[in-house]
């Protein structure tokens, strides 16, 4: 039963990754779904089985997508599934799983940008830098500031955009798991009192 469940959830994660990579629609939903099957596996079957599930997923995707695109599922989704699954398995506080999850997600995002930049032969960080520069320019226009940002400031704002994205993303993963996993007979640690009003749906 353990082998069947591991294979099934690893295959489900692989299908979601392929859909995220190739389909032009549904990207946000696929990103939210990606870490959850393997996190569920870790909670239900333990740390060793969770790691094996991630390894099976990486091997399967490497066979289907090649040695560069396949392993990219680790950054950050595979690593997040292991970290969050372990935290929920140990029933650790949300603040710990959330904060470290943001760090894992940010580092994974940067690794993915670096590898994809090599694959396409273009620096993809420039796209994020342009978004950061645009945000600064809007702030200057709104508040009419006599300010001209340098490249270091633009890069810092760009990094802050990535971190903000990961803060929202990892919190959404917590909320989805809190709503879904108890229905699959997997208990979740309760959210902190400060977040209870935000996580308003009943898990049971």
pLDDT above 60 (res 156): yes
Q: Is 25 exposed, middle or buried (0-12, 13-18, 19+ CB in 10 A)?
A: exposed
The reply to whether 201 falls in a domain is no
pLDDT digits (tens, 9 = 90+) for 136-149: 888 888 888 777 88
Q: Please give the average per-residue pLDDT across 115-119, as a whole number.
A: 91
pLDDT digits (tens, 9 = 90+) for 166-190: 999 999 999 999 999 999 989 899 9
pTM summary value: 0.92
Distance from C-alpha of 49 to C-alpha of 30, rounded to nearest angstrom:
23
Supply the CATH number for residue 189's domain. Answer: 1.10.1760
The reply to whether 40 falls in a domain is yes
pLDDT at position 197 = 78
Residue 121 sits at φ, ψ, to 5 deg, of 70, 30
The reply to whether 204 falls in a domain is no
Residue 145's domain comprises: 2-195
Question: What is the rounded radius of gyration, in angstroms, for the C-alpha atoms of the chain?
Answer: 19
The reply to whether 203 falls in a domain is no
The reply to whether 202 falls in a domain is no
The reply to whether 50 falls in a domain is yes
Number of domains in the chain: 1
pLDDT at position 203 = 45
């Amino acid at each position: 039963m353990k082998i069947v469940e591991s294979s099934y959830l690893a295959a489900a994660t692989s299908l979601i990754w392929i859909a995220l990579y190739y389909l032009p629609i549904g990207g946000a939903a696929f990103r939210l779904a990606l870490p959850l099957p393997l996190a569920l596996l870790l909670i239900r079957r333990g740390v060793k089985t969770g790691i094996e599930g991630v390894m099976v997923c990486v091997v399967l995707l490497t066979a289907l997508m090649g040695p560069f695109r396949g392993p990219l599922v680790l950054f950050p989704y595979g690593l997040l599934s292991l970290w969050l699954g372990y935290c929920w398995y140990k029933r650790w506080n949300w603040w710990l799983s959330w904060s470290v999850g943001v760090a894992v997600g940010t580092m994974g995002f940067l690794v993915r940008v670096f590898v994809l930049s090599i694959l396409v032969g273009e620096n993809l960080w420039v796209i994020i830098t342009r978004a950061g520069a645009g945000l600064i320019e809007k702030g200057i226009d709104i508040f009419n500031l006599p300010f001209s940002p340098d490249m270091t400031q633009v890069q810092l704002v760009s990094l802050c955009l990535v971190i903000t994205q990961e803060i929202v993303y990892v919190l959404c993963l917590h909320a989805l798991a809190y709503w879904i996993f108890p229905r699959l007979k997997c208990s979740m640690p309760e959210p902190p009192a400060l977040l209870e009003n935000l996580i308003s749906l009943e898990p049971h």
